[in-house]
Structure 1
Amino acid sequence: MMQTLKVTAVAGLFAALGFAGSASAQTPVTFQLNWTAGGANAGFAAALQEGFYKEAGLDVTIVQGNGSGNTAQLVASGQAQLAYADAVAVSQLIAKGAPMRVVSTIYQSNPNELIALKKTGIKSFADLKGKTVGVPAGSSQTTMLPLLLKANGLTEQDMQLVNMPMPSMVPSLLTGQVEAILGSLDSYAIQVRAQGAEIDEFPFADYGVPTVSTSIFASNDFIQKNPEILRNFVRASLKGWSFALDNPEKAVADVKALFPDANADLVTKELAAITPLFCSADAKFVGRAEPAHWTKTQDLLSQVGLLPQGQDPASYYTNDYLPAEGEMRACP
């Protein structure tokens, strides 16, 4: 069951979402994550703990998740309204008619990668033939698998794919139940190294899957009814991420304060691992994927049927709720 942790920004009477309240009231907003607490959420934790959401008039509740695919489905089905997940999983559902839209992209490149213990001798994707590979159920890795295989001249029949719960991935690799896993540089790889294992890593982005990645998105209903709330949330969130990039030690402390069960050492390593993703793929600003990157993502995914041919990439996202460029953090 997903754990919900709420920090009340200010005491007093809160207005119901979508309705006006008193001048001192904070507007409650629930934000659904794609994953459990860690460095991947540090910017949002900083936005809350450093008071950026409060300054924006928001009382934010952060709900942990268990995979981008699952989080995207929650919004598509109306069980959540504002969330964070891989853009590919979100775009697939939008293409099928789900009423939602990406409003800010945090990871410009996806963090997913193939991970193998050095002792297995796997040195390329071609070496996966005949191997057993763990795949996390309900994840963005599963969503991208057809494109990954095609880009590397493989088919599902070339290997034994084992769908498994996410908590089982690292133990299964370490104990030899699988010979490789489709993991990520911001989570699984760090967990494996923490156990003293030596690994080889093969990032998806370097092997044919350079797609727009983890993004803030919202249901169309939420967007239409709460445009200013959304703008304020995005602005405060990006402020939180900028703070986390400039003050990683404080951001780690913010994660720990918000999520007491988080491992500070792992959070530190996770935040360091994702930092290069914010300005990859020729991004000009933290929080905004460029139109050319969306077009490339559409072209790649449509080649393997993950998105429909001819779909306008602009149908997946809007930049209307981003701050003005002068307020955004420019990429170097």
Structure 2
Amino acid sequence: MRAKSLLRALIAVLALAAAPSAARAEMLDKVSFGTNWVAEAEHGGFFQAVVDGTYKAYGLDVTIVPGGPNVNNRALLLAGRLDFFMSANTLQSFDAVANNVPVIAIAAMFQKDPQVLLAHPEAKVTKLEDLKPLTLFVSKEGVASYFQWLRSEYGFSEEKIKPYTFNAQPFLADRKSAMQGYVTSEPHLVEKQAGFKPTIILLADYGFNTYSTLIETRRDLTEKKPDLVQRFVDASVIGWYNYLYGDNKAANAMIKKLNPEMTDDLLMYSVATMKENGIVDSGDSLKDGIGAMSDERMASFFDKMVRAGVVKRDVDFKKAYSLRFINKGVGLNLRPKN
């Protein structure tokens, strides 16, 4: 009887191996992942995992749904039309708890938030505090979030703020001003547009220790399909290692196809800047792997946001995230040794 059972099992394995590729593809779990902006290098690891077959190797057929100014992918996640979403930062996770939104952060692809303030070289800014006398071009969202931290932790004044409309011209025209941006893009665009290298102050280096580019999903998915969630997280982590340290040409080609305004030089700049500043791979990720999070850091950022008046003290911030699917050292062998 045992011999017959083994024979049947062997026949089944051989039949699967010989099955047409289309039939095998049907066995992959279909997964949809929504980003929070148009395709760019800051999403590169996810595209990498698609084009190099990493998701497929983990049994997943992943469709990436780009975001944009008129796309609300987080709403699609809540409606069940997406399985995962790329959340901007930890504040969104805290806000979800405060408003009883049934989502949870399960991995943080960026150890550092890429938020920066740019200044003219003539302003002779060498540290964060040097920005205080300058006019600050800050967006409405920035005023409600990181600027409140600048006010509470460093004594910045709202009287210095002017609205930032994602147009660099007011900043370029005023040498006694500073402008918000992402370290991975705006410095490059300013240099291309105005011909000078701006001074860059990365807020993460001064204590603004939110995580960024988090993977978010519905709580029920982590409970009902934990294996699928784990496979998506692990494959995404490996995708990020390969995008940063391997051959990312195919991923960048996919990004440019989805976003024709993206250029090769900006993609190269963004990847180099992420590596130089440890945006993806630094801190806890050096020992726990990309995607790492910790209770201590979550508590630290929560306390800062409470002091800044951005988050209420009674929010149970520990419900905002889970460490279940991360900190396992996945992909550490893919980091270059030197």
Alignment TM-score, normalising by the size of structure 1? 0.79
2:248 is the counterpart of 1:251: yes
Q: CA deviation at 1:137?
A: 5.1
Q: How does 1:106-125 map to 2 (within 5 A)?
A: 106-120=109-123, 125=128
Q: What SS does structure 1 have at the residue aligned with 2:168? A: helix
Distance 1:54 1:151 in 2: 46
Q: Does 1:134 align with 2:133?
A: no
The residue number in structure 1 matching 2:199 is 200
Q: Is the 8 A contact 1:88 1:212 kept in 2?
A: yes
Q: Per-residue displacement from partner, 1:156-182 (whole Å, max 9, x unpaired)?
A: 2x2133042xxx333443355993211
Structure with greater proportional helix content: 2
CA RMSD for the aligned pairs? Answer: 3.2
The 3-state SS of whatever aligns with 1:84 is strand
Task: Say whether the 8 Å CA contact 1:46–1:243 is kept in structure 2.
Answer: yes
Distance in 1, Cα, partners of 2:269 & 2:318: 34
1:142-153 superposed matches below 5 A? 142-153=144-155
For the pair shown, the structure with the greater C-alpha radius of gyration is 2
Give the C-alpha shift of residue 319 in structure 1: 2.0
Aligned pair partner of 1:307 in 311, 314, 319: 311
Q: Aligned match of 2:102 in 99, 103, 113?
A: 99
Partner of 2:168: 170
- The verdict on how the C-alpha distance between 1:269 and 1:141 changes in structure 2, with shifts beyond 3 A counting, is farther
Corresponding residue to 1:183 among 181, 184, 194: 181
Q: Distance in 1 between matches of 2:65 and 2:202?
A: 28
Question: Following superposition of structure 1 onto structure 2, how do residues 62-73 of structure 1 map, counting pairs within 5 Å?
Answer: 62-66=64-68
Relative distance call for 1:187 and 1:136 in structure 2 (3 A) is: farther
Aligned amino acid, residue 306 of structure 1: V
The CA deviation at 1:121 is 5.2
Mean alpha-carbon deviation: is it higher for 45-54 or for 302-311?
302-311
Cα 1:113/1:258, change in 2 over 3 Å: closer
- Give the counterpart letter for 2:272 in structure 1: A
Q: Is the 8 A contact 2:118 2:181 kept in 1?
A: yes
Structure 2 residue ranges without an equivalent (≥5): 1-19
Which residue of 59, 62, 86 maps to 2:61? 59
Q: Distance in 2 between matches of 1:40 and 1:142?
A: 23
CA contact (8 A) 2:35 2:64 kept: yes
2:161 corresponds to which residue?
160
Deviations 1:120-158 (A, max 9, x none): 5555555555654333455x67522211222220232x2
Over 6 Å off, 4+ runs? none
TM-superposed CA distance for 1:295, in Å, is 1.8
